[in-house]
Structure 1
Amino acid sequence: MEVRIGVQNVARELVFESAQNAEEITAAVSAALGEGTVLQLKDEKGRTVVVPAASLGYVDIGASEVRKVGFGLS
């Protein structure tokens, strides 16, 4: 699942692939915003991304990326 996080007052966004599904990510974002704590998500390599909820600009949860291999021959 591709995740893009916009952080307030930061020009670049955080982009990573997560092994978590869309429902888990949405629940984590909602909990962090509701409690005013930090958003913690894991990427597919097992690393943890931590962002203070007060600094979140947006969280874009994309579809799982399907990688195509090979060449299209006509």
Structure 2
Amino acid sequence: MRANNRAALFLMDYARQRRLKIFGRMHVADAWEEPLLAERPAVRGYAGRIERAVLITVEAATGIARSTSPPASRKPS
């Protein structure tokens, strides 16, 4: 990640046949360096410990309408 901190997220809504693409830069923060970041996403009662948080600064986002999004497959795998 030191050489390239770019991130791309592709979020699909198969029911509505829409897609959202988010592009940005990411930064990994260790929980011991930034403890407040580790507390925010924590789930009450969960015994696991958050060690790192990945922060993404959004630089661009695009939404794609129905015509280009593939329908969800309803066949059992």
TM-score range, shorter chain: under 0.3
Q: Looking at secondary structure, tell me which structure has more strand per residue.
A: 2
- Could you state the TM-score of these two structures normalised by the residue count of structure 1? 0.25
- Could you state the TM-score of these two structures normalised by the residue count of structure 2? 0.24
Larger of the two Rg values belongs to structure: 2
